[in-house]
């Protein structure tokens, strides 16, 4: 984690949320953010995707909606 990244995060938390953290306390959280970013780097979302689609899909998958699967 670069010093600049850490300072940006520290300033964001202090200015936006009123939370003061020492830079060393942010190393782990910033690593988690980086890992999540890397984990999704290859994900290609359809332009029209929206979160509530998961609820419709769950209904479609219920036993009585199996159709000819």
Residues within the interface to other proteins (CB under 8 A): 9, 12-13, 17-19, 21, 25-26, 28-30, 32-33, 35-37, 39-40, 43, 45-46, 49-51, 53-54, 57-63, 66, 69
**Strand ranges in 1-69 using DSSP code E only, listed in sequence order:** none
Question: Distance of CA 66 to CAs 35, 61, 62, Å?
Answer: 37, 6, 7
Of the pair 7, 35, the CB lying nearest other proteins is at 35
Supply the Cα-derived Rg of the chain in whole angstroms.
20
CB of 66 to other proteins, least distance (A): 7
């Amino acid at each position: 984690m670069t010093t600049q990244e850490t300072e940006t995060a520290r300033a964001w938390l202090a200015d936006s949320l009123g939370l003061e953290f020492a830079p060393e306390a942010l190393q782990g959280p910033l690593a988690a953010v980086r890992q999540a970013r890397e984990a999704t780097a290859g994900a290609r979302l359809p332009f029209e995707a929206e979160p509530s689609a998961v609820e419709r899909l769950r209904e479609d998958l219920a036993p009585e909606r199996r159709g000819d699967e």
